[in-house]
Amino acid sequence: MNENGRILWIDATRILAIFGVVLLHTAAPYLDKFEGNATADWNTANIIDAITRPSVPLFFMVSGALLIERSIGISQLKPRLKRLIVPLLAWSIIYLIMRAITEPNFNLVILLVQAPLMPVMYHLWFLYALIGIYLCLPLVAPAIQAASPMQLRYGLGLWVLASAMLPTFEWISGAKSSIELSTMAGFMGYMVMGHVLAKAPRPSRKQAFAAMASIGIGYGITVFGTIIMTVHQGKFFGKFYDYLSPNVMLFSAGVFVIMRVVFEGRQSRLAKGLSDLSFGIYLCHVAVRAVVAVLLDVRGWGVSGIVPYAVLTFAISAIGVFVVRRLGLAKILAP
């Protein structure tokens, strides 16, 4: 930590994650346009989207690195949940209005009935996932804090088995596993992995090379696995994009370690500022993308416009969140 209690590599990781999410949502629409063969445009979109796959896992890992070490009792849940639920409600209303304006078959009643259990806009699922994880932390965090290094490795091994390996084997074999490991599955594993990797000694050069190798392997499997299976099936195949797939787990762990190697011990006021805006950017960027698309007719940009479109969306979102915070609306719209 620096003198302000900030951890730069954590801030930098959060910034990388939020830009990755914006880039992901910008590239994704091109992937469903597969029409029997992998065109140059489709391959470009796949290459770009695949590189963003660690973004959401990195958010969970950052949360685990920051939260699990703290003493989180049931009494501390209320302010943490409020920080999620209030902006979730506010942005759900905003996105409901946006969808009512833009969608001809919009059904407000159905969406309102479903809203307590599922998001009204696709990216808000992350907040629902965090709410569930936060509810479990008072029980899970003390157990993780008290666990030995061997127990933590064992737990992470079970998580990889339950969340990634068994589902992959089920897909390959066509058989449904009767082994009951659902308790160990889900995004909580990324929280634990973030805690373990952040608490470990600074990575050695050998570990940094291993992390780079895991990035290369994870990314390669994501890109080429998606190409091969998409061509084979004749339509977009997204299993290799799953956040809980073995390749994305490997990719995400490698990126987390490398971010620590590169940024640990450094200082940056800009990184702190952008990191503080990241949650607000996550909440608003889908609306900003929609407005930018209308004003600038980004469809005409084609696949070559994916990165510029994402950069523009990110910049406008960051400025918007900064202004909203200056207006005193941070607790409602941009915590």
Give the end-to-end CA distance of the chain in Å, rounded to a whole number: 22
* Mean pLDDT (whole number) for 78-100: 93
* Mean pLDDT (whole number) for 79-99: 93
pLDDT (tens digit per residue) in 261-281: 999 988 888 899 999 999 999
Q: How many C-beta atoms surround the C-beta of residue 3 within 10 A?
A: 6
* Mean pLDDT (whole number) for 39-61: 95
CA distance 284 to 6: 25
pLDDT (tens digit per residue) in 291-315: 999 898 877 788 889 999 999 999 9
SS3 for the chain is CCCCCCCHHHHHHHHHHHHHHHHHHHHHHHHCCCCCCCCHHHHHHHHHHHHCCCHHHHHHHHHHHHHCCCCCCHHHHHHHHHHHHHHHHHHHHHHHHHHHHHCCCCCHHHHHHHCCCCCCCHHHHHHHHHHHHHHHHHHHHHHHHHCCHHHHHHHHHHHHHHHHHHHHHHHHHCCCCCCCCHHHCCCHHHHHHHHHHHHCCCCCHHHHHHHHHHHHHHHHHHHHHHHHHHHHHCCCCCHHHCCCCHHHHHHHHHHHHHHHHHHCCCCCHHHHHHHHHHHHHHHHHHHHHHHHHHHHCHHHHCHHHHHHHHHHHHHHHHHHHHHHHHCCCHHHHCC
298 and 305 in contact (C-beta within 8 Å)? Answer: yes
Sign of CA dihedral 311, 314, 317, 321: negative
pTM more than 0.85: yes
pLDDT (tens digit per residue) in 62-71: 999 999 987 6
pLDDT of residue 4: 52
pLDDT at 103 over 90: no
pLDDT at 127 over 80: yes
pLDDT at 3 over 70: no
Mean pLDDT across the chain: 92
CA distance 12 to 10: 5
pLDDT at 2 over 60: no
C-alpha dist (Å) from residue 13 to 118, 255, 259: 27, 9, 6
pLDDT (tens digit per residue) in 191-234: 999 999 999 999 999 999 999 999 999 999 999 999 999 999 99
pLDDT at 30 over 80: yes
